[in-house]
Amino acid sequence: MTAQPQETPQSIIDTQVLESRLGLVFVPAKAQPQETPQSIIDTQVLESRLGLVFVPENPSDIIQAILSKEEAIAKAQESGAPVKEVTSIIAELGYLNSPSLESAAASGEKVDPTLLAHPLVWIISYEGVVIPSSGPPGSEHHIAHEYNVVIDATTGAYVMGFVYR
């Protein structure tokens, strides 16, 4: 029994003709595995401090977003967010929910239903801002350097704004 030569994948480009006529050498790239998107949102801190769960989108979810990244940033700017002097603006698409709201709704409390449907949202993070915390005189105050605006990716509606770190 003789060993069969292994076939190399054929390119739809005729590399011999390309090289002989134009002097170009074409080498097909190997497909790279798709990586799971890494979130710029610190999901653990967001959940522990605000009780919000953010799940970054999969590449296929972008089709469901009616608003583009640029349109979401424009909507966030229109929301009146305190973002005068920013050093960067980052927008991330994903799903947002609040388990504590879901528990409250399940126990019969009246809650804002916006997050109960786990909406696809854009979280627009404004970095480099200076937002002092509030509180009674003499209490410890902090300065936040990031402000986040949540825009519904399918309707363009403002959902909320928050500071969490």
Residue 90's beta-bridge partner residues?
A: 125
What integer pLDDT is reported at residue 136 of this predicted model? 86
Cα–Cα distance between 11 and 14 in angstroms, integer?
Answer: 7
Residue 148 has pLDDT above 50, yes or no: yes
Of 124 and 22, more confident: 124
What integer pLDDT is reported at residue 25 of this predicted model? 59
> How confident is the model over 3-39, as pLDDT tens digits?
554 444 455 566 676 567 666 655 554 444 334 445 6
CB 106, CB 116: distance < 8 Å = no
Of 8 and 144, more confident: 144
CB 60, CB 29: distance < 8 Å = no
> How confident is the model over 30-68, as pLDDT tens digits?
444 334 445 688 999 999 999 999 999 877 767 888 999
Collapsing DSSP states into helix, strand and coil, what is residue 50? helix
What integer pLDDT is reported at residue 114 of this predicted model? 86
Is the pTM here over 0.85, yes or no?
Answer: no
What integer pLDDT is reported at residue 145 of this predicted model? 85
What integer pLDDT is reported at residue 1 of this predicted model? 52
Collapsing DSSP states into helix, strand and coil, what is residue 125? strand
> How confident is the model over 98-109, as pLDDT tens digits?
999 899 999 999
